[in-house]
Amino acid sequence: MADLADLWAKLQAAKDSKSLLKKNLTEDLYNELKDKKTSFNGTLADCIRSGCENPDSGVGIYASDPEGYTVFAPVLDKVIKDYHKVDKLDHPEPSFGEDKIDFGNLDPSGELIVSTRVRVGRSHDSFGFPPVLSKEDRVNMEKKTLEALNTLEGDLKGTYYPLTGMSKETQKQLTEDHFLFNDSDRFLRAAGGYNDWPTGRGIFHTPDKKFLVWVNEEDHLRFISMQMGGDLQEVYLRLVKAIRQLEKKLSFAKREGLGYLTFCPSNLGTTLRASVHIKIPKLSATPEFKAFCDKLNIQARGIHGEHTESVGGVYDISNKRRLGLTEFEAIQEMRVGVEAVIAEEKRLSGK
C-alpha cells in the first residue's frame, strides 16, 4: 500500500500532466479501487505506475492483467472512451469478412506503395500482463505459444528465434528490418514491460518473412503479415488464416464491449493496424495533409513509427479506429483512405 500511496502522491503533484490517467483518476475513484485485486494479484499500483512515474505520458495507465479491465473498469473505461473517442463501449463480435473482400492490389503499377502490413495484438486469457508475470510464467507462456506456432503449415510454417542467446548482430539486423522489438521505451519499462528481459521473448517468422509473430514484447502476442508492394488482399487474408489456425490451439482474452484485450488500453477491440509505406511527396507537403487524413480516419506517421519524421516523402499511413467496428470495417476504412491518398497524390502530380 505504501507503494500505491507514493504513486498517488506523485500523480497529485504532477500539476502539468496531460495524461488520460491524471484526467480520469479522481480521488473518489482512487479510494474506490485502491484495495482491489484481481485473481492474477493485479493491483491499482500495477496499472498506474508508469503514468505516475512519467507524468508526460499520453495515456498513463495499463491493465495489470485481462481481469484488470473488469476490476479497475471504473477508471479504465473512462480512459478507453476518452482515447478511442467513443461514447459507449459496445464493440461488436469479430468479423473478418473474408468472403466479402472487394479489393486487391491498391497500387498495381507499384509507383507509390512500397510495402503493406497488417497486424493484431492478442493475449492469452490464462496469463497476466507484464506487471504480474513471474519469470516462470514468461517461460511457460513462450512454451505454450511455441507449441501452437509449430502447428502452422504451408506458407505460415516458420522458425522461432528466442531472444535469449541471440547474437547482437542478428538482433541489430532484425530490428533494422522492422522485424524485431527492443527494450528502449521508458513508459513500457516503468510499467514492468521489460521485467526479466530477454527471458520468454522471441520472434517467429516464415522463411520469406511475410508472416511474423512477436512473443512477449509489450503484448503476449503480435501477429504480423507483411510484404513489398500494395497487395492488401493477400496480406490481410494471410493474417486472417493465421489467426483462424492459432485460435484452434490458444484461447485469447476478450471482454464484452471491449473485444480483444491487450496490455495497453489504446489497443483494444479489433487491435488491428493496417498500414502502407507510401511515397507521397506532393500531398505530404501541403498544409492540409493532416486534415485530409483525419477526415478519412487514417493516421500518417514517419516510417520508423510514431513521432518520427518522414524519409524522402515516404509515410506510414494506417487506420486510426480499432474499437467499435469490425475487423472488416477497419480494413475497409484503411483501404478507402489509402485509395484517396493515392488519387490526391496523382492529382497534385498532374497525372
Is 303 flagged in the annotation as binding? Answer: yes
* Angle of CA points 134, 136, 141, to nearest 5°: 95
Does residue 281 have a cis peptide bond before it, meaning omega lies within 30 degrees of 0? Answer: no
In this structure, are residues 179 and 208 in contact, taking their beta carbons and an 8 Å threshold?
no
C-alpha closest to that of 241 among 93, 96, 94, 92? 96
How would DSSP label each residue in 288-338?
THHHHHHHTTEEEE-TTSTT---BTTEEEEEE---SSS-HHHHHHHHHHHH
Give the separation between CA 87 and CA 213, rounded to whole angstroms. Answer: 33
The phi-psi region of residue 163 (left if phi > 0; otherwise alpha if psi is between -120 and 50; otherwise beta) is alpha
Is 238 flagged in the annotation as binding? Answer: no
3 state SS of 277: strand
Is 304 flagged in the annotation as binding? Answer: yes
- If one counts every other C-beta atom within 10 angstroms of the C-beta of residue 209, the result is 15
Q: Any alpha helices (H) in the chain, and if so which ranges? A: 2-13, 20-24, 27-33, 44-53, 68-71, 73-84, 135-149, 168-176, 186-190, 232-247, 281-284, 289-295, 327-348
Query: φ, ψ for residue 318 (rounded to 5)?
Result: -140, 165
In this structure, are residues 22 and 29 in contact, taking their beta carbons and an 8 Å threshold?
no
In this structure, are residues 223 and 243 in contact, taking their beta carbons and an 8 Å threshold?
yes
Is 116 flagged in the annotation as binding? Answer: yes
Is 121 flagged in the annotation as binding? Answer: no
Is 277 flagged in the annotation as binding? Answer: yes
Is 273 flagged in the annotation as binding? Answer: yes
Is 276 flagged in the annotation as binding? Answer: yes
Is 186 flagged in the annotation as binding? Answer: no
C-alpha cell at 69: 479491465
Give the separation between CA 97 and CA 240, rounded to whole angstroms. Answer: 10
Give me the half-sphere count of Cα atoms (radius 13 Å) on the Cβ side of residue 73.
11
Q: Which residues pair with 110 in a beta bridge?
A: none
Feature table: binding site: 115-119, 178, 222, 273-277, 301-306
Feature table: binding site for ATP: 115-119, 178, 222, 273-277, 301-306
